[in-house]
Amino acid sequence: MTVDVATGIARILKQEGIEWVSTFPVCRVNNALGRENIPLIMTRDDRYAVALADAFSRITAGERIGVCTFQGGVNAAGTQFAYAGLAQAFEDGSPVLCITDGVPAGSAGHTEFDAAASMKTVTKWYGYIDQPQRVPEFMRRAFTMLRSGRPGPVVLAVPDPAGTYDETADPYHPVKGWKSAPDPADVSAAVELLLKAQNPLIYAGEGVIYAGASKELKTLAELVNAPVITTLKAKGAFPENHPLFVGVRGDHVSEYLNKSDLILAVGSSLSPGRFSHGIPNAASKTIIHCNVDELHINKIYSTAQAVIGDARFTLQALAAEVSSQTSGKGRPAENVAAEIKSARDSGLAKYREAMASDDQPINPYRVYGDLMKVLDPNNSFITHESGNTRDQLSTVYDTLIPRGFLGWGNVSTLGFGLAGALAAKIAFPERSSVAVIGEAGLGYMLGNLEVPLRQKLGITLAHISNGGFAGYGPGFWGAGHDPYTHAVLGYDEVDMSKVIGEMGLHTERVREPSDIVPALKRALAANESGQPSYIEFICSQYPIYGQWVSR
Ligand SMILES: Cc1ncc(C[n+]2csc(CCOP(=O)(O)OP(=O)(O)O)c2C)c(N)n1
Ligand SMILES: [Mg+2]
């Protein structure tokens, strides 16, 4: 059977279980997707086409791959704008598939912008389908990379969507994805070190979520009685009401990082980026580094023992080895939970007080505390924006299930929060889905607010409206801290609830702390009928949150 390249790609996507594709037009594969009945979710810019698919891959932990298309070829306007989305997906290691037009043979060198070279800097693989009959080969390779090893984005460039090939010559079979288990000798050496440590600390990264290893993480932590911290991106990998959970950030987390003599890192690259902890006094600690990617071993810190493999198999193997080396008894340590509780109580005291504040303008922590009262922790999704909402929520928001909270951004590109909430609603329609945002993030989202209206995606935006870029305000961090680039029109000058209300979202403006809970309930009720909501909380600037620990 002869098929054209674009149709061949569409059919393979269906074989791979892809249920929709996000796009910003035009891409010469889109019409084939439409003809093959793959719904196209049109976003309002190319960065968002990538971000929506990227967020879908993240929220489903790569179980369901997000796919997007954007404009490429000689007229690479879409590629230039999508670059921002890809850079973020690459930075955070998200397995998103992007399909774009390739520069056709005979047109190379016509433009100043080299699309292929630029895509190669932000992808796990950039594949250029140079001949029609290679479609199955390239799609197979793409899905293998998307489902195996360290996650990352793949771009496929299609220079000739109308070219034809014989579909039966190299029949396509869906790709399973493959995992690896660690070397048993490394596992037993790691456990010997772990059992010798006085104050081991488990440092869990997003690899635990991608491996679906939360249960195994809990089993190991309980067996060795070790405190657990998670990275921002792994928030929710460990149930945050568990007695062994220390936190994501805050003084109590700093205390545990400082006092530990052994770090058992699982599923984290241990790269002290902008929004993660470094390991203080690393040279005097023993670092066991469990990771799927050997390139992270000995990357920044000296690794005492590497354990390379999938996080779930690794945690299973470590637990089995601990049992065997301790005759099933595990590591005794009586006071661990009580010590964690007292460290958390003192570390969180000032935030808990803020969460009960009756101040006007509203203290942002009061909104977060009330969100925790309204949302069902076992059946909801929340994400943050770049700025204070990230720093404050990751300090205090209690997350009980993996991806109940989407933490994102090794460097956090403003505006991704809406994509996160939309993708969560698509992935788990029965869950309430909330993005907490500031004015800067909102600025990046405005055009895309039409998307949930058109798609009937009932998500809620909770805007901490404080008239400026609070983390950059003058005065909080001493004189001279960005005083010239801090203020934007605030709630006294613009009523964003009216602006956005005119678009058709359910909107409210909340000044009274006692109105927060009822307003959130009304927002979520509107969401149930597919209407998106926007609530503007008139808040103070309050840039107070737990810090990241430096190396
Ligand atoms: C694309 C991008 N550019 C610049 C930044 C730097 N940045 C981080 S937060 C922020 C301002 C946040 O202000 P706002 O949204 O009002 O939140 P607030 O801190 O006031 O709660 C800026 C400019 C960024 N994260 N992403
Ligand atoms: Mg602000």
| Closest ligand 1 atom to Cα of 442 | 15
Does position 476 have pLDDT exceeding 70, yes or no? no
Does position 484 have pLDDT exceeding 90, yes or no? no
Helix 388-396 × helix 336-355 angle, to 10°: 140
Give distance in angstroms: CA of 380 to centre of ligand 2.
25
Name the phi and psi angles at 94, rounded to 5.
-110, 130
Give distance in angstroms: CA of 541 to centre of ligand 1.
13
pLDDT per residue as tens digits for the range 147-201 = 999 999 999 999 999 999 999 999 999 999 999 999 999 999 999 999 999 999 9
- Reading the block at residue 266, the tokens are 């699982």
Ligand 1 neighbours, Cβ below 6 Å, are: 385-389, 412-414, 438-441, 464, 466, 468-471
Does position 459 have pLDDT exceeding 90, yes or no? yes
Give distance in angstroms: CA of 473 to centre of ligand 1.
11
Does position 528 have pLDDT exceeding 70, yes or no? yes
Exposure on the CB side of residue 479, measured as CA atoms within 13 A: 0
DSSP assigned state of 290: E
> Which residue from 228, 266, 219 is spatially nearest to 246, judged by alpha carbons?
228
> Which protein residue's CA is at the shortest distance from atom 9 of ligand 1?
387
User: What's residue 250's pLDDT?
Assistant: 97
Q: Quick one: 334 exposed, middle or buried, by C-beta within 10 A (0-12, 13-18, 19+)?
A: exposed
Interval 113-130 mean pLDDT? 97
Give distance in angstroms: CA of 439 to centre of ligand 2.
5
Q: Which is more confident, 276 or 458?
A: 458
Ligand sitting nearest the alpha carbon of 385: 1
Whole-number average pLDDT of the chain: 96
Does position 479 have pLDDT exceeding 80, yes or no? no
> Which protein residue's CA is at the shortest distance from atom 10 of ligand 1?
387
- Reading the block at residue 179, the tokens are 């995992």
| Closest ligand 1 atom to Cα of 488 | 16
Does position 215 have pLDDT exceeding 80, yes or no? yes
Interval 245-262 mean pLDDT? 98
The C-alpha atoms of residue 204 and residue 238 are separated, in whole angstroms, by: 8
Lowest mean pLDDT across 57-61, 111-115, 270-274, 424-428: 270-274
Q: Which residues contact 59 (CB under 8 A, 6 or more apart)?
A: 381, 403, 406, 420, 423, 424, 427, 428
pLDDT per residue as tens digits for the range 336-369 = 999 999 999 999 999 999 999 999 999 999 999 9
> Which residue from 227, 233, 465, 463 is spatially nearest to 347, judged by alpha carbons?
227
Question: Which of 92, 461, 469, 544 has most ligand 1 atoms within 8 Å of CB, for mutation?
Answer: 469
Ligand sitting nearest the alpha carbon of 466: 2
Give distance in angstroms: CA of 11 to centre of ligand 1.
41
Which residues in 123-141 are b (16+ Cβ under 10 Å) and which e? bbbbbbbeebbbbbebbbb
Question: Which of 48, 383, 414, 494 has most ligand 1 atoms within 8 Å of CB, for mutation?
Answer: 414
Interval 447-474 mean pLDDT? 94
Give distance in angstroms: CA of 318 to centre of ligand 1.
41
> Which protein residue's CA is at the shortest distance from atom 17 of ligand 1?
438
Give distance in angstroms: CA of 137 to centre of ligand 2.
48
* pLDDT level of residue 261 (50, 70, 90 thresholds): very high
* pLDDT level of residue 477 (50, 70, 90 thresholds): low
Rounded to two decimals, the pTM is 0.98
The C-alpha atoms of residue 418 and residue 448 are separated, in whole angstroms, by: 8
Q: Quick one: 221 exposed, middle or buried, by C-beta within 10 A (0-12, 13-18, 19+)?
A: buried
> Which residue from 424, 422, 436, 431 is spatially nearest to 369, judged by alpha carbons?
436
* pLDDT level of residue 480 (50, 70, 90 thresholds): low
The C-alpha atoms of residue 264 and residue 290 are separated, in whole angstroms, by: 8
| Closest ligand 1 atom to Cα of 84 | 1
The C-alpha atoms of residue 13 and residue 7 are separated, in whole angstroms, by: 10
- Please check whether residue 162 is in contact with residue 131, taking contact to mean a CB–CB distance below 8 angstroms: no
247: helix, strand or coil: strand
User: What's residue 152's pLDDT?
Assistant: 98
Ligand sitting nearest the alpha carbon of 467: 2
Cis peptide before 175 (omega within 30 of 0): no
* pLDDT level of residue 205 (50, 70, 90 thresholds): very high
Interval 248-266 mean pLDDT? 98
Give distance in angstroms: CA of 440 to centre of ligand 2.
7
Interval 39-49 mean pLDDT? 98
Ligand sitting nearest the alpha carbon of 443: 1
Name the phi and psi angles at 135, rounded to 5.
-55, -55
Does position 271 have pLDDT exceeding 90, yes or no? no
* pLDDT level of residue 529 (50, 70, 90 thresholds): very high
